[in-house]
Chain A
Amino acid sequence: MKQNLGRHQDAVARRSNFDEVAMGFGLEEAVTEAARCLGCKTKPCELACPVNVKIPEFVDLVHKEDLGAAASKIFETSLFPAICGRVCPQETYCEAACVLKDKFGPVSIGRLERFTADYARKGGLIKPPPCAPDTGKKVACVGSGPTSLAVAAELRKLGHAVTVFEALHEFGGVLCYGIPTFRLPREVVRFEVDMLRKMGVRFLKNVMVGKSITIEELKKDFDIIYIGSGAGLPTPMNAPGEDLVGVYSSNEFLTRVNLMEAYKFPVSDTPYYVGKRTVVVGGGNTAMDSARCAMRLGPENVTLLYRRTRAEMPARAEEVENAMEEGIKFEFLTAPVELEGDEKGRLKRVKCIRMALGEPDASGRRKPVPQKGSEFYIEADSLVVAIGSSPNPVIQQTTPGLSANKWGGIIIDEATAKTSLDGVYAGGDVVRGGATVLLAMKDGKAAARAIHEKLSAKGN
């Protein structure tokens, strides 16, 4: 029997809504898909999972239709299955390790994880896990994205008091402002945050650590600080004309659309502008999200420019396919060189150049080389720059003694997640640069172990 990839919203219909594209399994589909699992003793899938979800065991419980137990089994190692089941690139982790992969297609582990979490959530089968008695130790998490949520969950279970500080007005970091609702519905994120609240984690919004309060000040009131402030500084193209009206960083565009719900304007108050023709620059998941959001705001067309070929795109294959199905036009081996505007300072057209792939660069990928004389123009009213992001430097700049590398990434001891400052730990994108939700959670879990050891050590 072949892998079941689940149902999807129709490619044309979904262009005009922000509802979830992947519709998930029904109970029957889930049980049938779970039956495909061979229950390998060696558990290659579990070993390949960055947070080591007990995959064969929970899949077996799904097969037995014991969804409450299946959810509890996942919770033993990960408190966020409804999120991970949706946004984790399983094809490079658990599903890549599945023994069925080559002959029949892997077990749809991500979709089963998601189904289990959704079913248990909707059925009220999820109870907050028990927490150890209060230790009297206080931990502050800076940022409320995936890495901080993982730290908060682990340390609260161990009995430590945890306070999460968020600069924005909603909790979840990139899960709220970055990833669109058609990939991750907001009720899923809110449910997970609420569960942590029920466990006793305190959440404070509208506090920008580094501006509202400094790390040094927090150190007076907390035993440990975990910095999980992400990589929220957009990388500019540095092309002439980037200042024109209609040119957005992907962070601004996605924050308007997702966090501020600009797609509901004027029912919501935050406006957006896409005009008739939108261009998106980049080849990662953020570029896919930007292009697909833009498409749903009703322009005549959306064109994506990527300077390499489809084979080198860092975006998940599924997201690229979804984007193509939705009618987004891809211009590979193409880069913008100059943005031109009208007399009001609004974007009018994009001067592009064709590339050819040259020798591999330091990252091992073949370097795009501009082709002389290949310049051409694309008419555009708006353009979204999605070529990467780096850590927001405010905390690094306002915390004396906190070591950072030249990209602004906080330097940690890999084994313990400790920064150069005593009692201050860090993980996720603020250390790695823009990476994935799952690696951020993995960092959080590992840091929580090290923090717990430190807090449990004698003399503490």
Chain B
Amino acid sequence: MFEYDPVIYSRILTGLTLGYHVIFATIGVGIPLLIALAEWIGIKRNDEHYRLLARRWARGFVITVAIGVVTGTAIGLQLSLLWPNFMQVAGHAISLPMFMETFAFFFEAIFLGIYLYTWDRFKNKMYHFYLLIPVVIGASMSGFFITTVNAFMNAPTGVEIQNGVVTNINPLAAMFNPATPTKVAHVLSSAYLTSAFVLAAIAAFALLKGKDHVYHKKALHLTMTVAAVFAVATALIGDFSGKYLAEYQPEKLAAAEWHFETSTEAPLILGGVLDEDQNIRYALEIPYALSILAHGSPSAEVIGLEEFPQDELPPLIVHYFFDAMVGIGMFLALVSVAYVFIQRTKRWNEHNRLLLWAIFIGGPLSIIAIEMGWFFAELGRQPWILVGYMTTAEGATTSAHVDLMLYLFIGLYLILTITCITVLRKLFSSNPVERELKDRGME
């Protein structure tokens, strides 16, 4: 393909593993919350449909958890294998949250194991529900801790680095760096949003296929309500993230918006392409919007890319990722809020085909938005691995075989994907809802 360079291959392999892992990690954080809600509603309202919902979601969830666990293990080890120089330096500062992430995951793993094998084992149904609380907490806490590590790489605080040696470390200050609040909030909120949409897409698909059992409608109602709440939350947090970037990582925001010259009353640029002379064509400009996004005032000054040395600029391609993420986020918010509105006011039919189709494609789109968001966040801090301290090239391995490993892992992820889809399809098509309802004597 191109000349062998361990840095490039390490970046591709890390990107591949993380890009793959993040799908399963995101639904791993979000789905436990939805299972818990379904089971809780089921018990409170004595509605067996909701309990069955929880049961069937849990059954599919465990298949995806398996892939999340193994790819999470993979990235944990790959950090040391592909970025040994980075880990040698940063290990001094980030090991606390990484260690705690493992604890959170341990906690979750124990209770998930218990939960899955204790259906109908307790006389009091609430006991079984209580087992989910540590699962939900563990899942969200591991999301929290690992995101603080990523936040630290974007905004290293609580340390002093001199000549590649880390000194004067305050582990808590490193964890609670300026990037942590917005990053963690955005990651968790978008994980709940994505999981809700993925599960809603399944229900919408069933309804589109003409299955009109009330079970699917209840599933859609629960997931869309959750989605609407977190879509609005995610949009709000996204706005805070923009303000954070303007303050602490202006070059990332400027790259996302192709904002070359520092100016006041800066417009927001939607879409478009860059020609060879870096002129923007075919873009939609919204006047003042970037100044509002960055500082909350239309007349505020936004720092442009010209302020930074050429070799410290992020790639300008991140603009597309940013736009795709925001665009999909808006679409998801619109669809879920529309559903809730129609359902509440009862003016139209919330199960009309157009809305169902929008919900259905919202599932895969939400996953794409997660990928786009992470691509934007990660490529947007290039060329740094530790912003301001260490470049990505300095952190990488010098080993001669990263290309071979890349091909091996591509093969692995392909196989895992194919089997995962096959297994999930068989699992649910061999035991459709209608039959399970009958078998459990609920009809």
A binds B: no
